[in-house]
Amino acid sequence: MDRRDFLVGTGLLAVAPTAASAAQGLDWGAVRRQFRLDPSLTNLGLFYLASNPREVRDAVEDYKRRLDANSHDLMPDQAQAVAVALGQYTGGAPDDIAFVPNTTIGLSIVYGGLKLRADQEILLSDQDHAWHQEAAKLAASRVGAKVRVGTLFESSARVTEDEVASRLRSSITPQTRAVGITWVQSSTGVRMPVRACAAVVAQANNSRAPEDRCLLVVDGVHGLAAVDDDAARLGADVFVAGTHKWLFGPRGTGMVWVNPQVSDQIVPLLPSLSGRSETASLGPGGFHAFEQYFAVRAAVEFHRRLGRPRVAARITELATRFKDGLAEIPGVVLHTPRDPAMSAGIVCFDVTGHTGNEVVALLGEKRIQITTAAYRIPYARVGTSILNTPEEIDKTLKEIRAITR
């Protein structure tokens, strides 16, 4: 089968879909067949670590063959091509992008390289990933600075943009050198209003000197390739994301984008192999699994052909189906906002009388794979990938209903 067959009609390649038709125009079954998923498993945890579509696997093999033939051929043109592809996909300039092996290392490099004084602090929220918090704490402890962890909403299910903005406004002090937030929280499924947070941070920065300027750092791993927005144009100063989750890139790949106006505020933590630009040199050096890095371009190209609006609309359609279904099951408490503007592809919930881990185990007995966020309150958690089907959602809802009986 031609790998482009999932596009229904070639005209769609040239026509930007409207919001209403966004999830249409693709044969989602054909998209799924590009992946080597276990057919006996309903996998609602596909955001965890990406399965790769055929063209990404082929690209890895091609680069591997070239490196095996001549390992001196480090293909700098391919590194540039990946930066260009990620730049186009995120709305950023290629020179403002560094390659990193994952989100955790990206965040560690950013906080570790941030020019931070002992009298300053990094402000995070209690729902940021444990590794995000740890990266900030390790960096702060090296210079004697503090990490303060705040709470940006009372209830994840009922969070509003105004609530987040006003809590953030009252939490920032003149000592706050960086605010770290998560685009889509893996502990609650909340999609944070990054632009509203950026406006608050910009206001706080009024009349601050560069060395006191507060930077907004976004852990974007569950928004990239799940939300239809330009990651580099959300108003953040730094955007960090693994490309090995929703983007379906090779495992062990990720990116950091830095606003060029603040790139002089973050110095490299490690020697770099890249002399492409100031920001590119944040990418850790030494030799890497280059075949994986270079194949990120194939993942971006795969998503570009699918169309970001269609991908996001399909993820939302499945998440909404799941949330609507949960709302009809007595004894189920939804912790993720119903509003698609405040959520994306992660849905967290509780089944009364069972821990999240028990729900994971009970569904596992039915060959349904879900997860919990072990680092926070371990709610049962479903991710609605474009590789999932409405039938899988309905089957899962049926089994959750059975657990409540």
Ligand X SMILES: Cc1ncc(COP(=O)(O)O)c(C=O)c1O
Site for ligand X, rule CB under 6 A: 102-104, 129, 131-132, 182, 186, 219, 221-222, 242, 254
Rounded to a whole number of angstroms, the minimum distance from the CB of residue 130 to ligand X is 9
Rounded to a whole number of angstroms, the minimum distance from the CB of residue 84 to ligand X is 22
Which CB atom, from 95 or from 219, has the smaller least distance to ligand X?
219
For helices 54-69 and 296-306, the axis angle rounded to 10 degrees is: 150
Which CB atom, from 96 or from 219, has the smaller least distance to ligand X?
219
Rounded to a whole number of angstroms, the minimum distance from the CB of residue 12 to ligand X is 31
Rounded to a whole number of angstroms, the minimum distance from the CB of residue 52 to ligand X is 15
Q: Please write down the long-range contacts of 268-273, taking CB distance under 8 Å and 24 or more positions apart.
A: 268/109, 268/113, 269/108, 269/109, 269/112, 269/113, 270/109
Write the CB contacts of 31 (distance below 8 Å, at least 6 apart in sequence): 6, 53, 306, 386, 387
Q: Nearest CA to 42 among 383, 402, 314?
A: 383
Cβ atoms 291, 71 nearer than 8 A: no
Which CB atom, from 222 or from 303, has the smaller least distance to ligand X?
222
Cβ atoms 235, 202 nearer than 8 A: yes
The tokens of 299 are what? 């993942």
As beta bridge partners, residue 382 has: 347
Rounded to a whole number of angstroms, the minimum distance from the CB of residue 317 to ligand X is 22
Sign of CA dihedral 393, 398, 402, 405: positive
Gap between the Cα atoms of 32 and 116, Å rounded:
46
Rounded to a whole number of angstroms, the minimum distance from the CB of residue 194 to ligand X is 14
Rounded to a whole number of angstroms, the minimum distance from the CB of residue 210 to ligand X is 28
With 0-12 / 13-18 / 19 or more C-beta atoms within 10 angstroms meaning exposed / middle / buried, residue 294 is buried
Gap between the Cα atoms of 171 and 204, Å rounded:
11
Which CB atom, from 172 or from 348, has the smaller least distance to ligand X?
348
Which CB atom, from 193 or from 254, has the smaller least distance to ligand X?
254
